[in-house]
Amino acid sequence: MNTRFRCSLLVGLLTTATSLSADEVRVAVATNFIDVMTHLSRQFEAETGHKVILSSGATGKLYAQIKNEAPFDAFFSADEERPLLLEQEGVAMPGSRFTYALGKLVLWSPDPDYIDEDQSALREKRFRFLSIANPATAPYGRAAREVLEQLGLWDELSEQTVRGENIGQAYQYVYSGNAQLGFVAKAQVYRQGEYADGSYWQVPDELYSPIVQQAVLLQDSEAARALLDHVRSPQTVELIESYGYGAEAGEPVARHAH
């Protein structure tokens, strides 16, 4: 057997071994986290050879799809309620649930002079439309409703409020100019210590319930477990924080019922 043939055979065997060990991980991810998940998935794919397939949407709708046996291996929710329910309902793998991020809510407008710390644009109704995510299906929408209720403006602004199906659509309404301002996820307008162009008010944490974002394993595969371990790594925690989230170390919380 000549040297060139032996080398070709070795490369072929290594390629076959890699393809056999590689797997696909199908992930349902809340819309607010899709940019971060795309970034860290590329890192994970480069390191492991596994392929990550992402599907994003409102947390409530993803939960309903999972309950209807949609073929996901992992779920990155925008709340802690749905992962806990999936665990209690026997759909999620016991002991796999953990907090991967703490969401932050921001009132944002692409107009640099629109929003101030007194929320005068809101209080004086100096806008045609205010965008929020649907409070019934999206945790960031529920948080936005809580803020408006705390400010005594929920009923007063109801006719000027437009609701996106998820936080991604709520952001698009503002970004496109169809709404003059909106409550969005901080991660949508914040990168590496700086906000996007425009004006903003980072809503104080005490005005809304904590947005505790949890992940859970749905299928017990080696590749899916490896992805969740990757998300809990110190490097990924730093990445998550760079997008404006609060981040936790990611210890399992399944034994602590809420």
> Tokens 């005490």 sit at which residue?
206
Whether 59 has a binding-site annotation, put simply, is yes
CA gap 236, 215 in Å, rounded: 14
> Tokens 């993803």 sit at which residue?
62
Assign 205 to helix, strand or coil. Answer: helix
Amino acid at 23: D
83 in Cβ contact with 97 (< 8 Å): yes
What does the radius of gyration of the chain's CA atoms come to, in whole angstroms? Answer: 21
> Tokens 């665990």 sit at which residue?
87
Whether 236 has a binding-site annotation, put simply, is no
CA gap 235, 227 in Å, rounded: 13
Annotated binding residues for molybdate, written as ranges, equal: 59, 167
Annotated binding residues, written as ranges, equal: 59, 167
